[in-house]
Amino acid sequence: MLLTLVVRTTVGQVPCENGSAGPYGCHAVDLYSVMSPAQLGVTGSSPSVNDCWGWTDPLTQREYALVGCRNGSAFVDITDPVAPVLVGTLPSHTSNSIWRDIKVYADHAFVVSEAPGHGLQVFDLTRLRNVPSPPVVFSEDAHFGSFGNAHNLAIDEQAGMAYAVGSDQCWGGLFIIDITDPVVPTLAGCHALDGYIHDTQCVTYAGPDPDHQGARICINSHSGNPDKKTIVDVTDASDVQHLSSINWPDARIGHQGWLTEDHRYFLLGDEGDELFHGFNTRTLVFDVSDLDAPVLIGSHFGTKASTDHNLYIRDGFVFQANYSSGLQVLRPVDLDQAQLEEVAWFDTYPAGSSAGYDGAWSVYPWFPSGNVIV
């Protein structure tokens, strides 16, 4: 399901009062709306949704949720968050899959999936304007088929480069695609040296390391043997340079992480440690001020036992989608000591908060309105 929420700056349709908003536990987060998989156009015997991203139309300022579904992608106008509108769906390029990932560059959505033979779908998001009788079924505007399935996709928007990871090419490493012309994606390079990558964040670097200013950098989260985090320079996509690699104790599934906005720290979630080691939700904090020699500072443990999944950072706040406990919002207190504090939360899965894989998959916190989708 898709939930539209607001971290307490205004009052939502269902305000968080006395620790609850309707059936959902909460603190400092109000509920605007809920859409079920069926309302998002998901069909079949096991309807489900997975990842989510967002797009704000630069012409109209309307806000859209882009939702990965088992059978494709759903595009929802959430400009009025109390009354979201399913504008349309984009069917999967091949078969259904519980894994789908969507990112945005130059007003185009780029979609990958673990469905065999899926490749990269490209969809012009400006087609969401003025749809006369929504919802409609869209077709893709372009397709890039140099790989089949992929687990995830990252885009460096400054560079116009996309990075498919966990694919059936390049040993699951970085499969690098030039998308400066969004409807004509071209293969730019491959980095297989470090093995399978589960997720990555790729940026044009603007952090404290003087040796890499302006370089194109990817910080990769590896799940496998061993679980690790690697940092590579992808400025020359045909000759990727390995800068560093680091492990952490009690590793199980190196899943995903995000840079702080000053590019000084990297926060990482291990998707398996809660279930296998009995930890409360663990967030690992790395000092990456020297990209050639990152340092694990320590770990923050949350108040619940739930497994972490995706986390993102906006305006200094850490927005986590932690499966059975839903949305958790953390504020850094002292990252040099791996200290964070929980300031808001919204439990999207009232059935419990134990470790496991039921509940919230992802969160998108960058809408100009301040609204958040989970």
Considering only 9-18, 22-31, 68-77, 304-313, which range has the smallest mean pLDDT?
9-18
54-98, pLDDT tens digit by residue?
Answer: 999 999 999 999 999 999 999 999 999 999 999 999 999 999 999
Give the pLDDT score at 1. Answer: 74
Residue whose structure tokens are 């859209």: 64
Model pTM above 0.75: yes
The whole-number average pLDDT for the span 164-179 is: 98
290 falls in which pLDDT band (50, 70, 90)? very high
* CA–CA distance, 274 with 279 (Å, rounded to integer): 5
Question: What are residue 356's phi and psi, to 5 degrees?
Answer: 150, -170
Q: Where are the alpha helices (DSSP H) in the chain?
A: 273-277
Q: Which two tokens stand for residue 332?
A: 């850094």
Q: Looking at the predicted structure, is the pLDDT value of residue 223 above 80?
A: yes
Q: Which two tokens stand for residue 89?
A: 């769906």
Residue 307 in contact with residue 275, Cβ under 8 Å? yes
Residue whose structure tokens are 């990209």: 291
Residue 241 in contact with residue 232, Cβ under 8 Å? yes
Give the pLDDT score at 46. Answer: 82
Residue 274 in contact with residue 320, Cβ under 8 Å? no
Segments making up each domain of the chain, as ranges: 39-153, 193-374
Q: Looking at the predicted structure, is the pLDDT value of residue 163 above 80?
A: yes
What is the Cα gyration radius of the chain?
19
Fold of the 193-374 domain? Methylamine Dehydrogenase; Chain H (2.130.10)
* CA–CA distance, 173 with 312 (Å, rounded to integer): 22
Establish how many alpha carbons lie within 13 A of residue 341's alpha carbon, considering only the half-sphere containing its beta carbon. 3
The whole-number average pLDDT for the span 332-347 is: 98
For residue 243, give the nearest of 215, 269, 270, 263 by alpha carbon: 215
Average pLDDT taken over every residue of the chain: 96
7 falls in which pLDDT band (50, 70, 90)? low
- Cβ-based neighbours of 127, under 8 Å, separated by 6 or more: 138, 141
Q: Give the residues across from 300 on adjacent strands.
A: 283
